[in-house]
């Protein structure tokens, strides 16, 4: 379909809480295809949320299968419509980056295992247990749906935020 421009912090739409997707129609399917294209074109990107392209709907895509961190444990391409974390466990701090904050990365603590409920692009309700890097990537994208950036999750901007040396 097409690659959409990514909004950059501090764009106000990045702080908006997204509204639920009411029905999956041709407009939503086009948005999904565009999100997938945008994610795949982004340098090192493993996910993108609709709000990052200016659409404030509870929709994101995640695919960590091509990342060295997610290669061993993943569900492939996930299209997450109205996703909810039902339970979580564990905790780990990982370095996160974001196409909406391209010049920085940060250390963020998140659960390492989540049980997720969402609707897919075929309007099927699904449940998935995600672990490790995939769980982190899903939570990162879901944060966008709640108007949060990884910057909001860093405990100390002084010691937990880093200028990106290069974007890979």
Catalytic residues, by residue number, are 141
In terms of Cβ atoms closer than 10 Å to its own Cβ (0-12, 13-18, 19+), residue 127 is: exposed
Which of 52, 34, 128 has its CA nearest to residue 83?
A: 128
> Hey, how many other C-beta atoms are within 10 angstroms of the C-beta on 62?
29
In terms of Cβ atoms closer than 10 Å to its own Cβ (0-12, 13-18, 19+), residue 65 is: middle
Peptide bond into 10 cis (omega under 30): yes
DSSP letter string, 39-100: HHHSTT--EEEGGGGT--BSEEEE--TTSTTTSSS--SSEEEEEEEEEEEE--EEEEEEETT
* CA pair distance 103, 94, nearest whole angstrom: 17
């Amino acid at each position: 379909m097409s690659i959409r421009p990514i909004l950059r912090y501090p764009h106000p739409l990045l702080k908006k809480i997204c509204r639920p997707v009411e029905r999956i129609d041709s407009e939503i399917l086009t948005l999904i295809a565009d999100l997938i294209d945008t994610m795949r074109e982004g340098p090192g990107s493993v996910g993108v949320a609709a709000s990052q392209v200016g659409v404030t709907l509870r929709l994101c895509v995640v695919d960590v299968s091509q990342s060295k961190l997610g290669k061993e444990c993943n569900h492939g391409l996930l299209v997450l419509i109205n996703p909810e974390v039902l339970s979580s466990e564990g905790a780990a701090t990982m370095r996160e980056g974001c196409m909406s904050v391209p010049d920085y990365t940060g250390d963020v603590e998140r659960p390492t295992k989540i049980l997720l409920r969402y609707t897919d692009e075929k309007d099927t309700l699904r449940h998935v247990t995600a672990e490790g890097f995939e769980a982190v990537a899903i939570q990162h994208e879901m944060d966008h749906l709640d108007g949060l950036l990884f910057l909001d999750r860093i405990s100390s901007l002084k010691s937990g935020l880093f200028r990106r040396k290069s974007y890979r």
